[in-house]
Structure formats: C-alpha cells, structure tokens
C-alpha cells in the first residue's frame, strides 16, 4: 500500500520564489463494514489496516478482545479502501444496537457516513481568485498567537482564523480538534452572515475534511501551518481552491495555485498577487 507521493511545489520567501518537490502523505477513505453493515468511513493512511480495524473495534467497545474480531478482508475500491470484518457471536449484537442509535462520532471528520460514495458531496460555487499580498499571509502568521489564549495556556489546542487582505485576524476559534475549530469558524461566520474572508489560516495539517470545510465557507484560499495530504490536494484542485501549506515565518509552500497568483511574473516582478 502506497503511503506517500511526491508533489511539485513552489516555495515562497519574503524576497524570492523557487520550485521544489515534497513528499505528500497519502490520505484515503477507508470504509469499515461490520457484519455486513456500513459503520464508518475513516480518513487515514492506507497501511496496517487489519491492525487498525482490530484496535478500532476494541476502542469502540464493539469487541472485547482480538479474538472477537473475525475474518478481516481488506480490498481496494475505486474511491478508496474497504475493510469487511465480522464479530464473534457474543459481540455481534452490539453493532446492530450501535448503528441503530449512532448519530455522530468525534474521532474523525467523516465517521458519520456509511459508504465511500457519500464522500462525493456537492460543492456550491467556485472559490474566487485570491487577492492577498504575500506580506498579508506572513502578517497573519505573526499575529495569530495573540488569538490563541487557550493554546497559550495548554499547548494542545488548534485554531482556525478568518483573515482580511491585510493579514489582520477578523475572527478566530480554538478547539482540541482541528476539524472542530474550523467548524466553529465556519459557523461563526455564517451566524453573522459575514462575507467570506480573504483567506482562512489553520494551525494544523490540511486534510480532505479541512479543504471541504473551506469550500463550504466559500473562501478563496486556505493556509495551513502543517503539511497537506494527497486527498486534500486533489480536492482543492478539483474545485479550484488556492492551497498554501507549511506556512512558517520564513517560508510558505504553494501547493495549489489555480489562478497563478503566486507565479513569478515574466518581468521578474515578485510577488505577482492581487492588484
């Protein structure tokens, strides 16, 4: 099973631009079917799936021991991977009760869906062309810490911030889960009927779910301080979302630039962004 791939990227620095490559972690949907019932779709690295399935069933309290996990069958499908597994007779009734009453799951952004086909959710509209100077992105990075009081106290909290064209943080939300922080931001903007910000900055890796939430928010650009996954890049490309990653005080990687706003101009003018 492939767990990484190489992607061409552009490296932004305050005074220069360069081309390069980077290894990107593979993220795929893995559908878990237990005794013939679709239970969850996990976004994950496609490695050690039998071990994952056993541990997942144990931590979900669907099995009491590894002996209760039977006949694990792992196979690749068009949209991802499927794991079919059975439970021992003494545990079999739990899955029926769980599926009947289960409404949500906090361990994964997509655990509430039951099949790979449900990943293909419609996306309304196309993200606009970003109009953000590179200096604004570095300014947002420098100013974000002031909007992370809970993380300052605990060191274990993610944040998602809406930023304007100057890099000022308009709104920021914190949560122990990166998905939760971004959901709070999207919800807060929606409650206030705010126009989409110039860009969203998140303090985490960028996965499929994070890109999808940014698309729902109608934002032009998503910036993350950690690396993207393969599926996140594919999702951004499919829907025209500008995607920047590994954003640090000295460099930012341009991973998806559908409008070409971060390319070096023919006259050598850097950066070519906005007006």
Can you read off the two tokens belonging to residue 259?
């409008």
**What are phi and psi for residue 183, nearest 5 degrees?**
-60, -40
pLDDT band at 266 (very low <50, low <70, confident <90, very high): very low
Place of tokens 């005080």: 249
pLDDT tens digits for range 76-116: 998 899 999 999 999 998 888 777 655 444 445 455 455 66
Nearest residue to 155 via CA among 120, 211, 203:
203
Residue 101: what pLDDT? 53
Q: Beta strand 28-34 with 16-25: parallel, antiparallel or unpaired?
A: unpaired
3-state secondary structure of 230: helix
Q: Are 199 and 220 in contact (CB under 8 A)?
A: yes
* Predicted model pTM: 0.79
Residue 270: what pLDDT? 43
Q: Rounded to an integer, what distance in angstroms lies between the CA atom of residue 167 and that of residue 16?
A: 20
pLDDT band at 274 (very low <50, low <70, confident <90, very high): very low
Residue 271: what pLDDT? 43
Q: Rounded to an integer, what distance in angstroms lies between the CA atom of residue 248 and that of residue 220?
A: 20
Residue 107: what pLDDT? 44
Residue 133: what pLDDT? 94
- Rg of the chain over CA atoms, in angstroms? 21
> Which sequence positions are flagged as catalytic?
108
**What are phi and psi for residue 54, nearest 5 degrees?**
-65, -50
């Amino acid at each position: 099973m492939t767990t990484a791939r190489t992607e061409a990227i552009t490296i932004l620095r305050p005074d220069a631009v360069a081309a390069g490559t980077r290894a990107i972690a593979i993220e795929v949907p893995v559908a878990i079917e237990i005794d013939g019932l679709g239970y969850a779709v996990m976004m994950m690295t496609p490695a050690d799936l039998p071990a994952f399935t056993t541990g997942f069933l144990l931590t979900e309290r669907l099995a009491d021991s590894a002996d209760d996990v039977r006949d694990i069958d792992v196979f690749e499908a068009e949209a991802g991977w499927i794991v079919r597994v059975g439970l021992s007779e003494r545990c079999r009734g739990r899955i029926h009760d769980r599926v009947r009453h289960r409404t949500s799951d906090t361990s994964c952004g997509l655990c509430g869906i039951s099949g790979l086909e449900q990943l293909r959710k419609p996306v309304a509209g196309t993200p606009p062309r970003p109009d953000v100077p590179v200096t604004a992105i570095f300014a947002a990075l420098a100013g974000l810490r002031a909007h992370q009081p809970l993380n300052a106290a605990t060191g274990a909290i993610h944040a998602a911030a809406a930023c304007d064209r100057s890099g000022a943080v308009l709104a920021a939300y914190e949560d122990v889960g990166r998905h939760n922080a971004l959901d709070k931001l999207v919800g807060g903007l929606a409650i206030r009927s705010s126009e989409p910000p110039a860009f969203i900055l998140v303090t985490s890796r960028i996965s499929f779910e994070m890109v999808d939430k940014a698309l729902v928010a109608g934002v032009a650009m998503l910036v993350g301080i950690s690396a993207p996954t393969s599926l996140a890049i594919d999702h951004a490309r499919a829907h025209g979302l500008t995607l920047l990653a590994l954003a640090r005080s000295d460099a930012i990687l341009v991973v998806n630039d559908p409008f070409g706003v971060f390319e070096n101009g023919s006259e050598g003018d850097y950066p070519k962004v906005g007006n």
